Amino acid sequence: MIFDIDFFKSINDTFGHLQGDRVIRGVATVASENLRDIDIIGRYGGEEFCVLLPDTDCRAAVIVAERLRRAIDQNRMDIKGQLISITISAGVAEMREDMQDPEELIKLAYCAL
């Protein structure tokens, strides 16, 4: 799965990069709290994250993505005295035996995003 924080540039432009970094850390924390111990999450770049979901098919990954979306949306963040809701968009893909390298999986998930 790949997900990114919606309208992140607007957050940086409105509240500044330090607050944007707080949002990234907050999203990472909420996402980590809503994943299994065997799942792996990492920042892919900017406001994008990759999540590896071992032993999870595409249908189940969509359910996980929706759970993350709801959890992050419900976790309002106080930024300079304003409570804001953070939303994400996600794309999922399933590893296939014919894939030559991980970049193919990332590309599929990114296209689904």
Instruction: Map out the domains of the chain with their CATH numbers.
Output: 2-112 (3.30.70.270)
Give the mean pLDDT of the chain.
94
Catalytic status, residue 47: yes
Look up the pTM and report it.
Answer: 0.90
Rounded distance, CA 57 to CA 8, Å? 29
What average pLDDT does the segment 90-112 reach? 90
Evaluate whether 5 touches 84 at the Cβ level (below 8 Å): no
- Report the greatest alpha carbon distance in the chain: 51
Given this model, what pLDDT does residue 83 score? 92
**Within 13 Å, how many C-alpha atoms sit on residue 15's CB side?**
19
Q: State mean pLDDT over 21-31.
A: 96
Among candidate residues 47, 48, 94, 97, the one labeled active-site is 47
Q: Which residues pair with 28 in a beta bridge?
A: none
Q: Where are the beta strands (DSSP E) in the chain?
A: 2-5, 40-45, 48-52, 77-79, 82-84, 88-91
pLDDT score at 96: 86
